[in-house]
Amino acid sequence: MSKSARNDHGSLPRARVRSAVLGLMSTLLAACGGGDGSVGIGTGQDPDPVALDFPIAYTKGPLFDAQMQLQSATDLRDTQRFNVGTDLYLLDRASPTAVEQNVTLAETQGMGDVMGVEISDDGARVLFAMRGPFDPNLADEDQPTWNIWEYDIPTATLRRIIASDITAEAGQDVSPHYLPDGRIIFASTRQRQSKATLLDEGKPQFDALDEDRNDPALVLHVIDSDGNNLHQVSFNQSHDFDATVLDSGKIMFSRWDHASGVNGIHLYRMNPDGSELELLYGAESHLTGTNNSEVQFVGAREMLNGDIMAIIRPFDHPDLGGNIVIIDAGTYVENTQPTAANTGLPGPAQSPATPNQVTTELAPSQGGRFSSAFPLWDGTGRVLVSWAICRLVENTVIVPCTDARLADPNAVAAPPLYGIWMYDPANQTQLPVVIGEEGVLIGDVVAAQPRTPPQVILDKIPGVDLDPDLVAENVGILNIRSVYDIDGVSAVNIPALADPGVTMAAQRPARYLRVEKAVSIPDDDVHDFDDTAFGPNIQLGMRELVTYTPIEPDGSVRVKVPANVALAISVLDADGRRISARHRNWIQVLPGEELRCNGCHAPQSGLSHGRRDSFDPAYAGAPSTGVPFPNTVSTFVPDFGETMAETRTRVSCQTDCAALEASLDVVYTDEWTDPNVRAPDAPVEYRYSGLTTSPPTTIGCVNSWSSNCRGTINYEMHIHPLWSLTRLVIDPNDMVTVLEDNTCARSGCHAPVDAMNATAVPAAQLDLTDGLSADEMAHFNAYRELLFADDEQELVNGALQPRLVQNGVDAMGNPILVTVTVNPSMSAAGANASSFFDVFDAGGTHAGRLTVHELRLISEWLDIGAQYYNNPFDAPEN
């Protein structure tokens, strides 16, 4: 499998730094820290020897490798760095006169790497990720892994959290943080629960790659301080990292959302057990950098007043840093979008944390750049920062930034010179604590300052907080108040749609909900397959179907869904075709958890609804207790505020909870219409059992759904056989005479031969016969014909060739001939974007030739992306 290259991860920034470095190899000069027009907060100030009377810990290591290239990954998404020679250092107080102590040298032998430094609430222990020592005789994949380590300051002892070498080397563990109950949360490629799910799906265990398919995805895990009880709590398909604990006990972390074309790192929060996952801030606030440039949100920490301090920077930057901002996340979910309780406030939510004029673009930054920030909790508002002053290179000499020099469009930034500084907003000073060194990267910093511990949020307990039956089934519940609630506004008259006396089922736009699951992708070492397996849109990845359920008349849904997997949802019309935009982020439920949301989101609205307090619900539900919904049966009597789904499933669970059950079939039965008002709506059944070709799931899942059931559609196995399936219309009078042959790929129809087997133009320029494509040998020709533009064919002297038409004349008066393009009838954008179905509609030329079950199968395949394979292990190896 050829891995995708990131469009924004080119070589230019690195080349810029390298050219500066090569020019300095003969003469390496000290940094210009002040005077002569240099720019920077605190320039020329004397060090304050009593800036902080607590120890500080930080990382320090070489900036460049032996080839004078930046060692540290410049892209936030590249997680497998090895900055050889980086260690953890400790100062007994925040002063440049304090003696520096390397506390990891005995383990790393000066050939290791350290990052992700944290401090315990009592200030006595430092937690960090470390790997090493580097072995020059080993390949990259055989080097030591990242592990979580702890340094006890009073006893000066160092220990690895996972003692067993075998267990420790089973994954890459980074960005740890103490939970207030003594456990540790960290990011890891172990994917512990996800790997167990792979086994349940009949696949081998492997480290699933991120959605760029470059590195194994980091997701959050929790472990006891003694290394026991390791388990996974987040289920993103790309990276979750930089977890910290808010004062409320909630976990805040950075999530790289990369589903369905989304590509951004924003802030999320959840409980320590993974429940109540939601967006916290920033999904629609990425264009808040310099000149509205795109930035990501990383290194976030809560301040004493509850605001969030974060680093904003591009995905990829050669200076390894950005600006510090303060985010009022209690009031805002986006920079100019307040929460429902604060409607009307204009924002912005973000404000600069320092007066430094920091640019987040590639150009040299007058105010320098920050790589990390640690706000103190002592009431002073001070912040420990890793900061690099602005410097330029002129004729191999490092010079300070001046307005004149920065105005030069050819100005070249000098290699970053990061040191540790104490920023005090009260008097606008920035005092040096650890002086930067040329060719050295001083990064993550924390203060060993005691603080009041955050609240403890206990893990939910089956039988107490969670339904034990749901836990045993490994399912949760998805509860949507109304799919007609779009960003807090009713898109329709919900009470009118909910009233069977006013609206029949056929008149309701939303009829079914489909739940899809992300498919984990292995590295080449596990299964090497070609990118052609993904089909027309590689960004969509692969998807499996996990359940369908009817949407109630008021737009509500309450249904079982698999727990501990990455899920997405789609709203469907009466034909089972998606009418909503593709879900742009992955959701998850804990076993036994009920995930509640108000409604849906309008694409490209610039608003976020992924946070529970973003909008008030647009639908109030039942106006009273004990009174049936208008013109509905008396079987379902709601409580005040309940939705129809909540009422029906509550009543059902008085017996067998059948109304909560999920299914891989699309089935509708009118449960609501009062027969005294009108006849109930006709039932609908689109079933896999109605197919005469292979269904995309097991017989067991057709008969009885469970959390492990998957609908996995591959073109060759499930879609292509439909074209050659014999479709004869038999005379009902004698049950023998063939009145018509509607086989799609037969001679004289969608085949390159006529009824006499002579070469002919396929009907509608669509060849659905067997055989590989000349354009892409990994695909069947019919697949390419259906989904990719092609040249129109014509018969010339008994042979098919592209049809040419004149398109003007050249300078000599000769005709210019061009081919005529035939647009595909199917689209990976979805069934409703595909003209294919037009001929099968009532009154169409092909009405009735495909069954409703077959049309449903084709529809769902197109809706999830028209992939050639939706199981990587079904794709042939390279």
The pLDDT score that the predictor gives to residue 52 is 64
Q: Which residue has the higher pLDDT, 363 or 8?
A: 363
- What pLDDT score was predicted for residue 67? 72
Look at residue 43 and tell me whether its pLDDT is greater than 90.
no
Residue 290: DSSP 8-state = G
Residues forming a β-bridge with 738: 730
In this prediction, residue 53 carries a pLDDT of 78
**pLDDT reading at 50 higher than 90:** no
Cβ(571)–Cβ(510) below 8 Å:
yes
- What pLDDT, on the 0 to 100 scale, is given for residue 31? 33
pLDDT band for position 7 (50/70/90)? very low
Which residue in 193, 195, 200 sits closest to 708, CA to CA?
200
Average pLDDT over residues 767-784: 96
Q: Whole-angstrom distance between the N-terminal and C-terminal Cα of the chain?
A: 7
- Give residue-wise pLDDT tens across range 10-23: 333 333 333 333 33
How far does Cα 633 stand from its chain's mean position? 42
DSSP E strand boundaries for 328-402: 332-334, 337-338, 350-352, 369-375, 383-388, 391-394, 397-400
Q: 604 or 459, which is more confident? A: 459
3-state secondary structure of 878: coil
Give 860 or 817, the one with higher predicted confidence. Answer: 860
Q: What residue ranges of the chain are covered by domains with CATH 2.120.10.30?
A: 12-447
Closest Cα partner for 485 from 618, 616, 642? 618
Phi-psi region of 371 (alpha: psi -120 to 50; beta: other; left: phi over 0): alpha
Residue listed under structure tokens 């081919």: 819
Sequence letter at residue 259: A
pLDDT given at position 8: 39
Alpha helix positions (H), 230-325: none
Instruction: Determine how many CB atoms are found less than 10 A away from the CB of residue 138.
Output: 10
Tokens encoding 8: 């924004």
What tokens appear for 841 in the block?
A: 């509609």
Kindly tell me if the per-residue pLDDT of 238 is higher than 90.
yes
656-699, pLDDT tens digit by residue?
Answer: 999 999 999 999 999 999 999 999 999 999 999 999 999 999 99
Q: What is the DSSP-derived secondary structure letter of residue 230?
A: -
What is 12-447's CATH number?
2.120.10.30
Res. 793: pLDDT tops 60: yes
Comparing 73-82, 235-244, 593-602, the range with the smallest average pLDDT is 73-82
Q: What is the pLDDT of residue 34?
A: 35
CA distance 353 to 836: 55
Whole-model pTM: value is 0.92
Separation between Cα atoms, residue 109 and residue 166, nearest integer Å: 21
Q: Which residue has the tokens 């529970």?
A: 612
What would the mean pLDDT of 838-850 be, rounded to a whole number? 94
Asked if residue 38 has pLDDT above 70, the reply is no
pLDDT range class, residue 64, cuts 50, 70, 90: confident
Q: Is 419 helix (H, G, I), strand (E, B) or coil?
A: strand
Q: Is it the case that residue 146 has pLDDT exceeding 90?
A: yes
- Mean confidence (pLDDT) of the chain: 92
What's the confidence (pLDDT) of residue 94?
84
For residue 47, is pLDDT > 50? no
Can you tell me the distance from the alpha carbon of 388 to that of 358, in angstroms, rounded to the nearest whole number?
Answer: 11
Per-residue pLDDT reduced to its tens digit, 542-594: 999 999 999 999 999 999 999 999 999 999 999 999 999 998 899 999 999 99
Question: Which of 35-39, 221-225, 342-346, 736-740 comes out lowest in average pLDDT?
Answer: 35-39
If one compares 260 and 865, the residue with the highest pLDDT of the two is 865
Q: Report how many helices (DSSP H) and strands (DSSP E) the chain contains, helices first.
A: 12, 46
Q: Which two tokens mark 109?
A: 């032998």
Cα distances (angstroms) measured from residue 422 to each of 49, 59, 97, 527, 769? 11, 16, 14, 50, 71
As given in the structure block, the two tokens for residue 809 are 């004349």
Average pLDDT, integer, range 424-434: 90
- Is 184 in contact with 177 (CB distance < 8 Å)? yes
Maximal C-alpha separation, the chain: 105
